[in-house]
């Protein structure tokens, strides 16, 4: 018998074996986090999942528009809501606004097993408290985080209930705007990120 015929016979035997219902696993075992159709459920069973890159970029497009992900952007990844779960925060200079450039700051969390995302647009070169002093086309503001002492939260911020990790946006020309996470939503938009500046 030629090698070609042997190879063909072996191939057919493998195909029959693989398609046979005797060998197929037809069980409907559902793993934790997966639904009965094999699709991953975000925050299944009320447990918070870490924020994924795909989740962050999806919110970036939804909240910031279709061009947002094309801008150079900075990403912070860590626990910024004091719940022990990875959050993602991204910032970029948004040039799409007819009012001029703004620094866009997107917060994406799965705090308490619920996806939350909020965006803030911080204007440049404004005398407002909620603004950055300088727009430098060659160097955007720097996004960073800072862990604060309990005394600082009580005496300076005036709120012990906020997460003590602040998100800072620094243009190195004036005091950095800071944002702290609050479990209690505030304002008409149900915002969880509280603005603070010295």
Segments making up each domain of the chain, as ranges: 48-196
What secondary structure letter does DSSP report for 72? -
| Residue 144: predicted pLDDT | 95
**Which conformational region is residue 192 in: left (phi greater than 0), alpha (psi within -120 to 50 degrees), or beta?**
alpha
Q: Cβ distance 75 to 59 under 8 Å?
A: no
Q: Name beta bridge partners: 102.
A: 94, 123
Alpha helices in the chain (DSSP H): 3-19, 53-64, 150-152
Low-confidence stretches of the chain (pLDDT beneath 70): 1-46, 186-189
Q: Cβ distance 120 to 179 under 8 Å?
A: yes
Measured at the alpha carbon of residue 130, what is the angle toward residues 52 and 156, in degrees to the nearest 5? 85
Who's near 44: CB < 8 A, 6+ residues apart? 32, 33, 34
Q: How far apart are CA 60 and CA 39, in angstroms?
A: 23
pTM for the complete prediction? 0.73
| Residue 5: predicted pLDDT | 66
Q: Model confidence over 61-110: pLDDT tens digits?
A: 998 888 888 888 999 999 999 988 899 999 999 888 888 889 999 999 98
- Long-range pairs of 184-193 with CB within 8 A, sequence gap ≥ 24: 189/118, 191/118, 192/107, 192/109, 192/111, 192/116, 192/118, 193/107, 193/118, 193/120, 193/167
| Residue 133: predicted pLDDT | 85
């Amino acid at each position: 018998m030629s090698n070609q015929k042997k190879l063909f016979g072996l191939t057919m035997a493998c195909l029959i074996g693989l398609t046979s219902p005797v060998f197929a696993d037809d069980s409907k075992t559902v793993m934790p986090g997966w639904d009965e159709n094999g699709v991953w459920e975000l925050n299944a069973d009320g447990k918070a999942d870490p924020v994924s890159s795909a989740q962050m970029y999806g919110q970036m497009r939804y909240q910031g528009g279709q061009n947002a992900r094309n801008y150079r952007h900075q990403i912070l990844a860590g626990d910024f809501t004091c719940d022990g779960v990875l959050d993602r925060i991204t910032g970029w200079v948004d040039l799409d606004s007819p009012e001029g450039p703004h620094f866009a700051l997107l917060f994406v969390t799965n705090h308490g097993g619920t996806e939350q995302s909020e965006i803030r647009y911080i204007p440049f070169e404004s005398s407002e408290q909620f603004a950055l002093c300088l727009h430098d086309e060659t160097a955007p503001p720097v996004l960073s985080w800072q862990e604060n002492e309990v005394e600082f939260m009580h005496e300076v911020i005036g709120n012990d209930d906020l997460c003590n990790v602040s998100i800072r946006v620094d243009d190195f020309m004036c005091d950095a705007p800071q944002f702290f996470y609050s479990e209690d939503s505030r304002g008409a938009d149900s915002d969880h990120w509280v603005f603070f500046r010295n």
